[in-house]
Each structure stands twice: as structure tokens, then as C-alpha cells.
Amino acid sequence: MGKANPYVHIPKESFPHWIWYAAECVILIVVAFFSAVSITNTFEGLTPEQHNYMITGIFASFFLVWYVIIRHLILKKKILR
């Protein structure tokens, strides 16, 4: 095979690589926040302070599970290279 046509658009070479990481992070933030709120709303009798601490803990656990366990151990992808 010869060289590729120089006028062909190859997204991997021209599209900034960091945008995929930003999109992944934004999607994770949205999913984690809505999941934390819906999980916390199932508990009754919580004070607003307890409600906020539970939302924060569940939100943080989503990040911990995704970036440490799933991404690092299962997918074997480094967060920063």
C-alpha cells in the first residue's frame, strides 16, 4: 500500500485528544449527580445536612469507582500520561 491521500481528513490526527477526556468527565459528572440525587431521595427523615453529605459521598464514590477501579484496573488506561 502506498501513502494515503494528503487531502483525506483523519480525525485522530486533527481532533484534540483532550476533548475525549473532557467529554468523559462531563458525562460522569451528570450521571453521578443525577444518580446520587435519586438514590438519596429514597431515604426518608434525613436532615438537609445529612442529605447533602449523602449526595456528596455517593457522587464521590462514582468518581472513585470509575477512575480507580473501572478505568485503571479493568480497562488498563492511564488517566494522565
Q: Where are the domains of the chain?
A: 47-81
- Report the predicted TM-score, pTM, of the whole model to 2 decimal places: 0.70
Nearest to 64 by CA among 41, 36, 44: 36
Q: Using one digit for the tens of pLDDT, what is the confidence trace for 4-31? A: 667 766 666 566 777 888 898 999 999 9
Rg (CA), the chain: 20
pLDDT at 16: 72
End-to-end CA distance of the chain: 32
What integer pLDDT is reported at residue 21 of this predicted model? 83
